Amino acid sequence: MLKDADYALGPAELDRVISDIYEGITETPPWNSALEHMRTLMNAAHVTLMLRPPSSESTGVMINAGEVDDQATHSYETHFFAIDPFVGLPEGEVISAEDLIGKEKWLESPMYLEYLKPLGIRHLLGADIYTEEGIECRLRVTRQPDGSRFSKKDITLVHILLPHLRRSIQLHFKMDYLESERQLFSGTMNRMLLGVVFLDQNGSVLEMNQEAERILAEKDGLILTNKGLTANKRSENQELQAMIQEAIAGGLTDSGPAVAEAMSITREFDRSRLGLVVRTIPMGPWSEAGRRPAAAIFLRDPDYNSAEPVQEVVQRVFGLTRMEAALAVYLAKGYTLDEAAEKLNVRRNTARTHLRSIFGKTGVSRQTMLVRLLLKSVVSLG
């Protein structure tokens, strides 16, 4: 058990570096401040976190504090990682390279002689982090030849910080996973030409996707103000605001509307009306108050071309030839068979032959059924 005398830092300084570790998940690059803080406290030349260690398949991801030679980093990522003996450390153990493999063996190793020594690095301290999610990270601390060996207090400090860094890495992994998922679904919404606007509990806009930005940039029927979304037509705006308030209130009280509220928005110059749906985003049992999504507004512009199938995806999904896929895509875009034949520079009879082959491969018997199949299949997400 650690005693007060074992701690290299006072409570206030220790609290600051631990705070840096947890706040590091929001930084770019992550943990930059924490690693720099550790470098200063340990009088180190570098503190490096290998968030994804280099391998034969990837150069990995390394975050460095201290003066870094880009060429040296590249050399490690592409060559020296493979001959580095200071890897695979036991979970939670903090150890120097010399203590791990012996002083003479370390100083005679190609890793030290050919890589570290030319960079002016003499002492190396490390710890590896493994998590249940399959994450493997490496923390490395270096000192120059004129620096002393890492002391017991240095090792104790890293040992104290290691569990916090491990938890922070796990949180970063979860946040990164959620962000990847969010970007995937956001891209899918954009591909389907569905605008999405998220509102907080005050009705202010938190976020919107590209299609919503395009629709609102036209300022036709629906505009974005510092108070939120507003319909140009007074009667429609009253209805819209009532729907938004009902959706937000329902999310806060867990008694939102049983079904989504919908309406249409009038636009100028005989353009089709915008379709709009408002949905409640209920608070979870442990949700915090504040600027969190409380309602979502979905927008559809009927005058904007619907999501078009990608020819290569159509070809692969339905097993069509290149010409058959091209014809199917033109038909899905609304062209007649004659117009599609002209676009493809083929005779009408040739187009009809291709269409019959498409029917056989897709299992439909009419052109309208084919179009419906294409627009409802996964090809619209390609």
CA 274 to chain centre: 30
In angstroms, the CA 6 to CA 221 distance is 68
Rg (CA), the chain: 30
* pTM, rounded to two decimals: 0.75
Residue in 345, 348, 347, 307 with CA at minimum distance from that of residue 329: 307
Per-residue model confidence as pLDDT tens digits over 307-326: 566 788 888 889 999 999 99
What's at 49, amino acid-wise? L
Per-residue model confidence as pLDDT tens digits over 265-312: 999 988 999 999 999 988 877 777 667 888 999 999 988 765 566 788
Per-residue model confidence as pLDDT tens digits over 185-196: 888 787 778 899
In angstroms, the CA 46 to CA 10 distance is 23
Place of tokens 């998922």: 181
Is the model more confident about 259 or about 24? 24
Q: For residue 346, give both structure tokens.
A: 């083929």
pLDDT at 252: 65
Q: For residue 366, give both structure tokens.
A: 């009419």
Q: How many helices (H) and strands (E) does the chain have?
A: 14, 12
Residue in 63, 205, 50, 78 with CA at minimum distance from that of residue 138: 50
Contacts of 50 (CB under 8 A, 6+ apart): 60, 61, 62, 137, 138, 139, 140
Domains belonging to the chain, first-starting first, are 4-179 (3.30.450.80), 193-300 (3.30.450.20), 311-381 (1.10.10.10)
Upstream peptide bond of 29 is cis (omega within 30 degrees of 0): yes
Of the CA atoms within 13 Å of residue 115, those in its CB half-sphere come to 23
What's at 136, amino acid-wise? E
